[in-house]
Amino acid sequence: MNSQIRSYTPFIGPFDPCPPLLCRTYVVPPNQFIQFQPLGWPQYSLSEALRRGTLWPALYSPYTARQSQGGTS
């Protein structure tokens, strides 16, 4: 499991009109755990950094799109 993805169980009330969502997930960005930028961090090459959106591998957070829930988009 990816350490950046967290989950929780929301409160389900007895009179909720919609079917309950039993588990919700969210992403915690990696920069929340880095207190300062140390010297000599490994870096991506320039072309790789442009593709990934960051120069440092420790700050890379892949984006995974959610599957649509039956919409037309």
Q: Which residue has the tokens 């039956």?
A: 70
Question: What pLDDT, on a 0 to 100 scale, did the predictor assign at position 23?
Answer: 92
How far apart CA 46 and CA 50 sit, in angstroms, is: 6
Split the chain (73 residues) into runs of 10 and give each run's mean pLDDT: 81 89 88 84 94 90 66 46
Q: Containing H/E element for 5?
A: strand 5-8
Nearest of 4, 5, 3, 10 to residue 24 by alpha carbon: 10
How far apart CA 63 and CA 52 sit, in angstroms, is: 10
Question: What pLDDT, on a 0 to 100 scale, did the predictor assign at position 31?
Answer: 83
User: Residue 27 in 3-state DSSP?
Assistant: strand
